[in-house]
Structure 1
Amino acid sequence: MGSCARLRLRLTAPWPARCESSHDPPRRGSCRSRGVLPSEPKIRCVPGSTCREAGILLGRGADPRPRRSRSLPAPDLERSNTPSMTTPPTWPHTPVVRPKDRKQRIESAATQAFALRGYHQVSMSDVAASVGISAPALYRHFANKYDLFKHTAFGIVDAVETATDDAAESAAVIGAPPAQQSAALIGATLDSLIKRRGTGEIIRWESRYLEPADRASVDQRLAKVYGRFSTVLKQLRPNLRSDDAALQSRAAFAVLASVSMHRTSISSAAADYLRAAAQRAFDAELPETESYVAPAATGIPSTAKREQIVARSIELFFARGYNLVSIEEIGGAVGITASGVYRHFESKSGILAAACSRAAEYLGQVTREVFAAVDNHEAALDGLIDAYVEAQLAHHRLLQVYIAESTNLGDDERERLIALQRDHVEEWAGLLRAVKPQFSASEARCVAHAGFHVVDSLGRVLAWQDTPSNRTRVAHMLRAVLDV
């Protein structure tokens, strides 16, 4: 007797070949005459293929229906996306081509994310999604989130360091006079920083989360950049005292670096003004430093636990960063347990919100007092300069936490405080436009941000020493930058 085809279908895809089935009428010698049910299809191979290619093994007297796996359920061929025996596959598959600049795209996306949301608020999945790849694909380029963060911080410093080095070397090669070297250095630095808008927060705030060796590397390279400015300034003004040169070179760099701290549009006129402002920082004549003996400390701390919690939290957040401070540490600083802290605040974020609200209210009160005491815009701007410098030096911990840590607040509280910060910028921009009508609204905001960053940078240089002499010198530099 003849044999009947035995069928076994492999449940894999794609199929290298296919077979077709039919229900032809029975004839002598057919599968039906050999005991196969009339409803069962017989197998007919397509020309050009073999049964072995189609996954069919020949045997004797077997049921031609597909066998069901003992461990897997039978596939639903109507719903499955797996190609069927009668559906030709698309072959060969088109390979996915990775862009050659994928690593650069990842670094760019990560830089923006870390600057906008902070190191601890960004995950590898967030960065991968923004680039349109999977998280495992991201790990082909960077070992972990810290590795990616370190590369972004180093990349920012690399760009500025390269720009200042190239400008200084080019000017030296042609033997340019000091004034031309100064202009070249200022222009190259500004051009480099404009290309990296909104990334300055990584160096200004987030770099404290770098490991000690990496943080030291960033600081050393920034010191080299500051040294470039100081060298050019000393060539321009050989008789300048070293402490004045350090202060003025940092002020000039701060004017230029301010463009990386905000996202206000920068017109060509605004860029020209910033270059001129940096040059004015070089040219300023600072008042002499006066000796000062700090008075004996007066006053006593509050006895209210809620007030103590806020005060100690501000100090801890300023020293180490919000994300590295625990509720247990805050409680220990005021002599209570973590549960004792929760009797006054629902969460650590609630403590931060209380501190930031206090800072916003303080700046608003300072501004209102200045406006109430004058009768013209020039006097208001002059008074606001002195009041702002005094506030930054006297309450630098509070105001630094206010600016640096607002990204860690809840959405509603963060939006409220960001609106207050914008209002504060608009107060300054409005005064600047009243005194200098040639400014557009965006230009005035750019200049205001430059002034804020100058005060912040000089406060760091002076280690936040709140003395009458330091207040006078910082205010003098701010007036030079604003040209008032």
Structure 2
Amino acid sequence: MTIDTSDGTPAASPDRPATPKTTPKKTLRPRNRKAQIITVAREQFGRSGYHNVSMEGIASAVGITAGALYRHFPNKQELLAQAMLDGSSSILAILDEVDRTDSKVVFTALVRYGLDNNFRSLLFDQEARNLTPERRTEARAGVREVTSRVAAALRHERPDLSVPDSVVLGWALTSIAFSPARHRTTLPRKRFEALLARLFDVVRTAPALPEEPAAQPQPTSNFSHTSRRESLMGAAITLFDQRGYRSVTMDDIGSAAGVPSSSIYTHFGSKAEVLQAILARGNETLRLGLVQALRNADSREDAIARVVHSYTNSVISPDSAIAILIEETANLPEEAQASTHIAQREYIDEWVHLLGNETADARATVLATISMINDLTRVRLESRQCAIEDLAVRILATQTV
């Protein structure tokens, strides 16, 4: 028996030279793999929140194994840190290439980066609480440097602008520049750029921002409620804001509220029920404030100012549920999420209707304004409440008819 050792290739002959054998090429690892991972991670963290994202899910979206992902990043916490640091460093690199003394050029660079990358505002940094203290400091330093570039450009153009006012305006413009990725209202690219440019002009040319009135002594009270349910909700608001919903247990809430573990479930069947009660409270607080503001207004301009003031007061209230409303809705069961989103959408509808201009441009402006208020109060500028409200009213006035 003859054993055929050929591979099916015709034998070589003087007229047919031998076909050279080839070795399969190895698939090379892309040089930008780490950047790909960071981009996907930043998008997933921004959309779903840190605790709702897994390393396996990120690896799958990138098209690699979880093991390959761990060769780049030892854990999810470090990946979050790198995603946040990469965002600010990428933006700073772009700003290094433009005229730092021209605030419009700086702002336009931020807008284009945000639109190109669907980049969520650097200021919406609730996920920073999941970092180590050292990494949190680094991430926030990057954010401050971005806003400082905007503020410096404004001061160069307006020597009369005080440093405190330039800081407020710098944060405001950075928030507005990245606002499109914070909501679902869509506009054609050029139209979005034109809209944001108009809002930029309003902020850049704002006169000296109003000073805060002298602080009035707050009355003290020796009275407090006795409701354990209220105590549990108050403790949960604080803990969810500081540590995030997923990092808090029912025992943590009970301990902070001074309620025995055996009594917690008398008031709430689960942690999800606590969250749902808080978000319902937040939505009702906003709606009640809006109704009262409209009831007392004597003109459209007065109504807008009152609604802005009502919202800002709700955000900065010590026991405010608004931050939880913004950050933790995704942790509700699907049905509860849907009802919460409906309530939020109806609240935004009221603002748009108040402008008398129910267009996509008006809606995007309202959402940019609300994001700006959220961001400026989040970065501890709530002491400039009058200035924040003044800017908000000026921005909204661009859409009144």
Q: Please give the TM-score of this superposition, normalised by the length of structure 1.
A: 0.72
Is contact 1:197-1:263 (8 Å) kept? no
Say yes or no: does 1:195 pair with 2:113.
no
Is contact 1:318-1:397 (8 Å) kept? no
Which residue number corresponds to residue 359 of structure 1?
A: 282
Say yes or no: does 1:459 pair with 2:381.
no
**How far apart are 1:325 and its partner, in Å?**
2.3
**How far apart are 1:98 and its partner, in Å?**
5.1
**Alignment equivalent of 2:155, drawn from 234, 247, 272:** 234
Which residue number corresponds to residue 17 of structure 2?
A: none
Change (3 A) 1:45 1:186: same
In structure 1, list runs of 5 or more residues that go unmatched: 1-43, 50-90, 173-177
Q: Given residue 359 of structure 2, which amino acid in structure 1 is its aligned partner?
A: S
Larger helix fraction of residues: 2
Is contact 1:109-1:127 (8 Å) kept? yes
**How far apart are 1:262 and its partner, in Å?**
2.4
The runs of at least 4 aligned residues of structure 1 exceeding 6 Å deviation read: none
- In the alignment, the residues of structure 1 paired with residue 87 and residue 196 of structure 2 have an alpha-carbon distance, to the nearest angstrom, of 20
**How far apart are 1:187 and its partner, in Å?**
0.9
Say yes or no: does 1:46 pair with 2:13.
no
- In the alignment, the residues of structure 2 paired with residue 218 and residue 471 of structure 1 have an alpha-carbon distance, to the nearest angstrom, of 25
**How far apart are 1:373 and its partner, in Å?**
4.5
Say yes or no: does 1:219 pair with 2:144.
no
Q: Given residue 310 of structure 2, which amino acid in structure 1 is its aligned partner?
A: A
**How far apart are 1:217 and its partner, in Å?**
0.9
- Determine helix, strand or coil for the equivalent of 1:163: helix
- In the alignment, the residues of structure 2 paired with residue 461 and residue 151 of structure 1 have an alpha-carbon distance, to the nearest angstrom, of 21
Say yes or no: does 1:140 pair with 2:62.
no
Is contact 1:455-1:474 (8 Å) kept? yes
Which residue number corresponds to residue 131 of structure 1?
A: 62
Is contact 2:276-2:332 (8 Å) kept? yes
Q: Given residue 415 of structure 1, which amino acid in structure 2 is its aligned partner?
A: A
Change (3 A) 1:294 1:127: same
1:462-481 alignment runs, 5 A limit: 462-465=380-383, 470-481=384-395
Q: Which has the higher contact order (CA 8 A, sep 6+)?
A: 2
Which residue number corresponds to residue 282 of structure 1?
A: 204
- In the alignment, the residues of structure 2 paired with residue 369 and residue 481 of structure 1 have an alpha-carbon distance, to the nearest angstrom, of 22
Which residue number corresponds to residue 60 of structure 1?
A: none
**How far apart are 1:354 and its partner, in Å?**
0.9
Which residue number corresponds to residue 194 of structure 2?
A: 272
Change (3 A) 1:93 1:352: farther
Is contact 1:198-1:263 (8 Å) kept? no
- Determine helix, strand or coil for the equivalent of 1:292: coil
- In the alignment, the residues of structure 2 paired with residue 341 and residue 209 of structure 1 have an alpha-carbon distance, to the nearest angstrom, of 26
Change (3 A) 1:145 1:96: farther
**How far apart are 1:240 and its partner, in Å?**
2.3
Q: For each residue in 1:292-338, what CA deviation from the matched residue of structure 2 results, as whole angstroms up to 9, or x when unmatched?
A: 12322347332111111001111222223223322222111222333
Is contact 2:113-2:119 (8 Å) kept? no
Say yes or no: does 1:323 pair with 2:237.
no
Change (3 A) 1:462 1:128: closer
**Once the two structures are aligned, what percentage of the paired residues are identical?**
26
**How far apart are 1:144 and its partner, in Å?**
2.3
Q: Given residue 112 of structure 1, which amino acid in structure 2 is its aligned partner?
A: E
Say yes or no: does 1:418 pair with 2:365.
no
**How far apart are 1:206 and its partner, in Å?**
0.8
- In the alignment, the residues of structure 1 paired with residue 116 and residue 221 of structure 2 have an alpha-carbon distance, to the nearest angstrom, of 48
**How far apart are 1:215 and its partner, in Å?**
1.0
Change (3 A) 1:356 1:139: same
- In the alignment, the residues of structure 1 paired with residue 319 and residue 392 of structure 2 have an alpha-carbon distance, to the nearest angstrom, of 17
Q: For each residue in 1:196-221, what CA deviation from the matched residue of structure 2 results, as whole angstroms up to 9, or x when unmatched?
A: 32533795211221111111111112
Which residue number corresponds to residue 359 of structure 2?
A: 440
- Determine helix, strand or coil for the equivalent of 1:316: helix
Change (3 A) 1:201 1:339: farther
Q: For each residue in 1:113-161, what CA deviation from the matched residue of structure 2 results, as whole angstroms up to 9, or x when unmatched?
A: 1111111111111112223333223223322222322221112112222
- In the alignment, the residues of structure 2 paired with residue 238 and residue 202 of structure 1 have an alpha-carbon distance, to the nearest angstrom, of 26
- In the alignment, the residues of structure 2 paired with residue 318 and residue 111 of structure 1 have an alpha-carbon distance, to the nearest angstrom, of 21
Q: For each residue in 1:169-206, what CA deviation from the matched residue of structure 2 results, as whole angstroms up to 9, or x when unmatched?
A: xx26xxxxx5xx12111111111122232533795211
1:288-367 alignment runs, 5 A limit: 288-298=211-221, 300-367=223-290
Is contact 1:277-1:480 (8 Å) kept? no
Which residue number corresponds to residue 175 of structure 1?
A: none
Is contact 1:161-1:222 (8 Å) kept? no
**Alignment equivalent of 1:386, drawn from 273, 290, 309:** 309
- In the alignment, the residues of structure 1 paired with residue 272 and residue 158 of structure 2 have an alpha-carbon distance, to the nearest angstrom, of 49
Change (3 A) 1:340 1:201: farther
- In the alignment, the residues of structure 1 paired with residue 263 and residue 24 of structure 2 have an alpha-carbon distance, to the nearest angstrom, of 63
Aligned residues: 381
Is contact 1:253-1:278 (8 Å) kept? no
